[in-house]
Every structure is written in structure tokens, then in C-alpha cells.
Amino acid sequence: MAEPERIIQHRMKKIIFATGNMNKLNEVRQILHEQNQILSLEELDFHEELAEDGDTFEDNARQKALFITEKFGLPCFAEDTGLEVDALNGAPGVYSARYAGTQRSHADNINLLLKNLEGHTNRNARFKTIIALTFDKQIYYFEGTVNGRIAYQPSGNAGFGYDPIFIPDGYDQSFGELPAEVKNQISHRAIAVEKLLRFLQGK
């Protein structure tokens, strides 16, 4: 094993990623190249839905991370993500998951967003991720943003959520069309996770 990788593994110890979302878990593991040290809730046999009823990404991420740290007594990080659309004054934002209702359907959310953007030529938008990390009795935050635009129709089956209608700056294809390796190099989540990793490497 290469020296830097060995050092990272030694230093990272075990840390929980508090998410029930397998897409997020897979992405984070791919970004971190660090499978063993990240414990999922499933591996801890925890299957409840985590409450996230705050008004900001920070509130939601912190709520989830604190709950799991208190339950399992291990360092933990959680993240909250949303899509901010300029022509809709930043909506759906923190309400991205239940934009079209509590059924939290990806297809319904996409359809409603496209309907609300009808007639708008300003398609500028961004994905934002906030990670909250509980570590040494403190909370640290890491932010990642990727700018782009909302397509006129969904395309591609890769990724999840709003990916089929989000085209990142510098590309002509949506996150739904781009390979996972590309999304995981440039995404909101990748940027936030890289910051988390650098922080943990320094510990």
C-alpha cells in the first residue's frame, strides 16, 4: 500500500456516515476511495429514518450527525443537499426532497420543477451540500457547490434525484448522462467530501 494511503487509513479511524440514502453512500465511498473506515447505518443495523426538519442545510446535517453520534458514541458525519434555482428565488433549496409533496418522489419533483420553470430563460442553478461532522465534541461544517443549469427535459439514468435535469457548467450532458466518475470528481458532494477528508487527514 502506498505510504500516503496507509497514513490516511491509520488516521481516519472509524467514522459513521449518517445516511439511509444508498446513492449518497456509494458516491461518498467512491470519492473517498476509503471503503472500510466509513461505517454505514445499515452496517450498524440502524434502519430508522433520520429526522431532518430544520430550515437550513446546516441545521439538517447537524441534527442527523448529532443524533447518530449520541446513539453510537462514534464520530459521525451527515450531509444535507439541495438544488437552488435562480429563477425560482433559490427554491426548492432546503425543501428539495419534498418539493412536490411528502411522497418524496424524484419524478414528481423533477416534473414540478420543470413546470415551474416554463417560460423562464434563466436556467441557472446550483447543487449545494453541507456536511456536518461531529469530532472531539465539536461540530465542523464543510460546504460544496456546483453551478450549472436546468435542462428543458430529463435525460440519462445515472445518479439520482434531480441529476437528469442538472447540467454542470463546462458540460453539455446532465449528471444523469455523465458517468459516475465524472460526477464524483466535480459534484457538490465531491467538493464537500474532499474538504472533510483534508480535515480528517490533519487530525
Quote the cell numbers at residue 153. Answer: 427535459
CA separation for the pair 124, 9 (Å, rounded): 39
Closest CA to 60 of 108, 102, 95: 95
Nearer to ligand IMP, 15 or 130 (CB): 130
Residue nearest to ligand IMP (CB): 161
Nearer to ligand IMP, 157 or 201 (CB): 157
CA separation for the pair 108, 83 (Å, rounded): 15
Of the candidate residues 40, 63, 69, 96, the single one contacting ligand IMP (CB under 6 A): 96
Choices 29-37, 42-50, 78-86, 132-140 (CB under 6 A): range interacting with ligand IMP: 78-86
Residue 86 is among the residues annotated as catalytic for this protein: no
Q: Which of 45, 53, 59, 80 is catalytic?
A: 80
Using an 8 Å Cβ cutoff, are 32 and 131 in contact?
no
Of the candidate residues 40, 63, 109, 134, the single one contacting ligand IMP (CB under 6 A): 109
Of the candidate residues 159, 184, 191, 193, the single one contacting ligand IMP (CB under 6 A): 159
**Rule CB under 6 A: which of 118-157 touch ligand IMP?**
127
Closest CA to 192 of 58, 40, 22, 43: 58
Residue showing cell 462514534: 74
CA separation for the pair 73, 163 (Å, rounded): 34
* Shortest spacing between CB 6 and ligand IMP, in angstroms: 30
CB contact burial 84-102 (16+ within 10 A = b; e otherwise): bbebbeebbbbebbebbee
**Rule CB under 6 A: which of 170-189 touch ligand IMP?**
175, 187, 189
Nearer to ligand IMP, 109 or 134 (CB): 109
**Rule CB under 6 A: which of 16-55 touch ligand IMP?**
21
Of the candidate residues 163, 167, 177, 200, the single one contacting ligand IMP (CB under 6 A): 163
